[in-house]
Structure 1
């Protein structure tokens, strides 16, 4: 089942259940998917990879907004962002733990023969391909930088 169809069904269920929190998150996802579709063109369907990237972008936006609201002591707005983030994350693939990401990056460093910080681009390019959708780019970057500076 396509993501958009699942979102539409979940929106109907949330409306019937009067679950405004979930409904708000689902509508944000639907809007982002429709926007991505119109950017691609009406004839082209979104691939699963593109859908995951759209969801990751939404999740990142919510995390950053929540962080800003927390710094500004705006708990009301912080709570809204966190609730929407939970809904968005429920549609993302299971995220790898920090240890799993570290293990994968170590393996990629060995594969590429990277020896120091100058090889960061090689490692990140491969890591972003292999771990796309499974780990946050910022986390991958932090781990890769730490491992490459050790060498």
Structure 2
């Protein structure tokens, strides 16, 4: 089942349950998918990796917004953002822990002989591709910097 049809089913379920937070976040995902489809051309569906990137972007936007609201002392606005990010995260693959990401990155470094911060760009590219959606870019970047330092 494609992401688009999963989202449509979940929208129906959220409407039946009168879950406004889930409904709002699912509609945002549906909107983002439709925008991506119109940008990409005449394809009927997005590739799985594009779907994952789209979902990760939506989750990151909500978490960033929540962080800003918390800084400004607006917990009432931060809470819905965090709840929406949790709804969207259900559609992402299981996220790896930092230790699991560190093991994968260390293996990539050993396989390719990377050393020093000069090889960070290459390492980030390989790691991001290999971990594809199971870890966010910020976590990968932090671990890469730690291992190359």
TM interval, short-chain normalised? over 0.9
* Alignment match, 2:85: 85
Aligned partner of 1:40 in structure 2 is: 40
Partner residue, 2:30 = 30
1:81 is displaced (CA, Å) by 0.5
Structure 1 residue aligned with 2:134: 134
Unaligned 5+ segments in structure 1 are none
Residue 137 of structure 1 and its aligned partner are, at CA, apart by 0.5
Structure 1 equivalent of residue 106 of structure 2: 106
Secondary structure of the 1:70 match is helix
- Following TM superposition, by how much is the alpha carbon of 1:45 offset from its aligned partner in structure 2, in angstroms? 2.5
Q: Tell me if the contact between 1:25 and 1:87 (Cα under 8 Å) persists in the aligned partners.
A: yes
**Which stretch has the larger CA shift, 133-142 or 37-46?**
37-46
TM-score normalised over the length of structure 1: 0.95
Q: TM-score, normalised by structure 2?
A: 0.97
**Deviation for aligned residue 1:90:** 0.5
**1:44 CA drift (Å):** 4.8
- For residues 105-127 of structure 1, the C-alpha deviation after alignment (integer angstroms, 9 at most, x for no partner) is 10011111012111111211110
Q: In structure 1, how many angstroms separate the alpha carbons of the residues matched to 2:55 and 2:137?
A: 14
Flag as ranges the 4+ runs of structure 1 deviating above 4 A. Answer: none
Aligned residues: 149
> 2:37 touches 2:44 (CA, 8 Å); kept in 1?
yes
Corresponding residue number in structure 2 for 1:58 = 58
* 1:42 Cα deviation from its structure 2 partner: 2.7
Indicate conservation of the 8 Å contact 1:112/1:122, yes or no. no
Residue 61 of structure 1 deviates from its aligned partner by 0.6
Show the counterpart of 2:13. 13
What is the rounded CA distance, in whole Å, between the counterparts of 1:77 and 1:110 in structure 2?
45
5+ residue gaps, structure 2 = none
